[in-house]
Structure 1
Amino acid sequence: MLLKHLPCIVSSATHQIQVGPNGQLIFEPSTIDIIVDDSIQFIFTGTHTATQASSSDPCKRASPPAFDFNSNGQHTFNTSGVFNLFCDVGDHCQRGMKGVITVSSANSTSTSNPTSTSTSNPTPTSSKSSAFTKYNCDILLTVIIIMVVTCFT
């Protein structure tokens, strides 16, 4: 039944980025596409940071950074935009430890002033994944409404 997918309309997903897995100077994944209200959970191995970089220099801290973790933490992205990510320890960024988080809204409109919220040291949670995006859920809700109206008229 289609109603079992209805919760995806109001739910957001938590995605994980591994910071320095297996002693490597990388973020895994190094690029990720998410939607507004999704969260990224940073899982650390070793001494690193997960810091928002400026839009002009991928190895320079944004001013002010929307997120800056040096241990496990979770960040929720409240608006669409492109968020550069880097490790601010030593020469890690210059050696390739950087990435990009692209946040899209349901209608794919971006904003020039992305906002977000962060939480340090959250309790680890499992990532949610769904074949439905918020856009797909809007379509699904429309189909359900049409079906209900048709059944009762």
Structure 2
Amino acid sequence: MQFLSVLAASLVTVASATNYDVSVGANGQLRFDPETVTAAVGDVVNFTFHPKNHTVSQSSFNEPCVKVADGFDSGFMAVAAEGGDLPSFQVTVNDTNPVWVYCRQTGHCGKGMVFAINAPADPNPHSFSAFQQLALSINGTNTTSSSVSASASAYVTPPAPSEVTVTATVTVASSTWTTTYASYDGTPPPTPAAQPQDHKITVGANGQLAFSPSNISAAIGDTVTFEFHPKNHTVTQSSFLAPCQPLADTSSIHQVGFDSGFNPVASESSNLPTFQIKINDTAPIWGFCGQTGHCGKGMVFSINAVESGPNNFAAFQALAEHVNGTSTTSGSGTSTSAPSSSSTKASSAMHIQKSPVVVVLVAGLAALFT
């Protein structure tokens, strides 16, 4: 009878467990989808592998792209094409401590292909966004130098910007309309400027690795014109938590972002090329120079940053300098970049013109008992 009681209790536990499905590399993207789950003891996380060749490997927060010695590892799962049976790998949750995961394929972790179970929420310094940013900042390297490890442990990543979607009625002169937009704490209401103005920002003037001014406020309908000076710079939109990477490379919602491309200017030239964007809403805009090493030296800018909160310009620039301008756009190895999606979300500013311990169950294990 005692055995039957234990068996019945075990069956109840199994029956009440929740299964979480996670796609690995779906649609050619270097990401887990979803990227985090919150699970109870006994729950099962089921990873399904999509083309091409990925792994599900356990790491640690401080070394996101290094497999822990006793951690689980699916091994490489090569998938030729969608359709048919897709391989899977299961992890059963034994406790509620955070579990950190990454893809071991060359270059993938450095592009942010990481995952977590029971990660603390922002603004906790050990949140998933902080974990992913650390993977991006070390460019997915398999070893971390003592200086990187020390700086990573001493530096606290600012919290991710928090936004809410609101609907507001806007009245300008004799016109009234309703608009829905992303609002951040401290951002002004979505009222267009009565007289739109153009804001000028110089890029690399006087040989300095700087945008000047580097932090401005602009109203809806205003334009911002970037004027390039010698030598060779870019104006590239990024995000607060990944200051030195193009927004298109890091956005989980397929934002494209603007990018001027490189604008080489000779030292004796008087014909200075420009690049212009239009302000469509009051959400903060973050940007950087894509030239090698420039972002890591603080060559970043912001438009409508909320200076009263933690996601201010100084924090953005400090984060750029902390990650030393790490860019993961030149990853090596067998990895392939994800194709661009036809479903995109418009960025805040649009380009107008450019002049000149865990139990691991591998799927298929049951076959041993059939």
> Which residue of the other structure, out of 84, 95, 119, is the alignment partner of 1:79?
95
Larger radius of gyration: 2
Taking the aligned partners of 2:59 and 2:92, their CA distance within structure 1 comes to: 17
Taking the aligned partners of 1:13 and 1:76, their CA distance within structure 2 comes to: 10
Structure 1 residue 103: Cα displacement: 7.5
Structure 1 residue 122: Cα displacement: 4.4
What TM-score results when the alignment is normalised by the length of structure 1? 0.63
Kindly indicate whether residue 53 of structure 2 is the aligned counterpart of residue 47 of structure 1.
yes
User: What percentage of aligned pairs have identical amino acids?
Assistant: 29
Structure 1 residue 55: Cα displacement: 2.8
Residue matched to 2:68: 62
Taking the aligned partners of 2:46 and 2:364, their CA distance within structure 1 comes to: 8
Rate the CA distance shift 1:9–1:68 in 2: closer, same or farther, 3 A.
closer
Taking the aligned partners of 1:103 and 1:34, their CA distance within structure 2 comes to: 10
> AA paired with 1:119?
L
Return 53-62 or 87-96, whichever deviates more.
53-62
Rate the CA distance shift 1:26–1:42 in 2: closer, same or farther, 3 A.
same
> Which residue of the other structure, out of 13, 18, 25, is the alignment partner of 2:18?
13
What TM-score results when the alignment is normalised by the length of structure 2? 0.27
Residue matched to 2:363: 121
Question: Tell me, what secondary structure is at the counterpart of 1:79?
Answer: coil
- Residues 22-67 of structure 1 show CA distances to partners (whole Å, capped at 9, x for unaligned) of 11100000111111110100100120001111231111111211x2
> AA paired with 2:359?
T
> Which residue of the other structure, out of 24, 28, 45, is the alignment partner of 2:29?
24
Segments of structure 2 that go 5 or more residues without pairing to the other structure are 1-11, 78-87, 121-356, 366-370
Number of residue pairs the alignment of both structures matches: 106
Taking the aligned partners of 1:35 and 1:83, their CA distance within structure 2 comes to: 12
Moved over 4 A (4+): 7-10
Larger RCO: 1 or 2 (CA < 8 Å, sep 6+): 1
Is the 8 Å Cα contact of residues 40 and 75 (structure 1) preserved in structure 2?
Answer: yes
Is the 8 Å Cα contact of residues 91 and 360 (structure 2) preserved in structure 1?
Answer: yes
RMSD value, Cα: 2.3
Rate the CA distance shift 1:118–1:9 in 2: closer, same or farther, 3 A.
closer
Is the 8 Å Cα contact of residues 55 and 62 (structure 1) preserved in structure 2?
Answer: no
Is the 8 Å Cα contact of residues 14 and 42 (structure 2) preserved in structure 1?
Answer: no
Paired residues for 1:124-139 under 5 Å:
none
Segments of structure 1 that go 5 or more residues without pairing to the other structure are 1-6, 105-114, 124-153
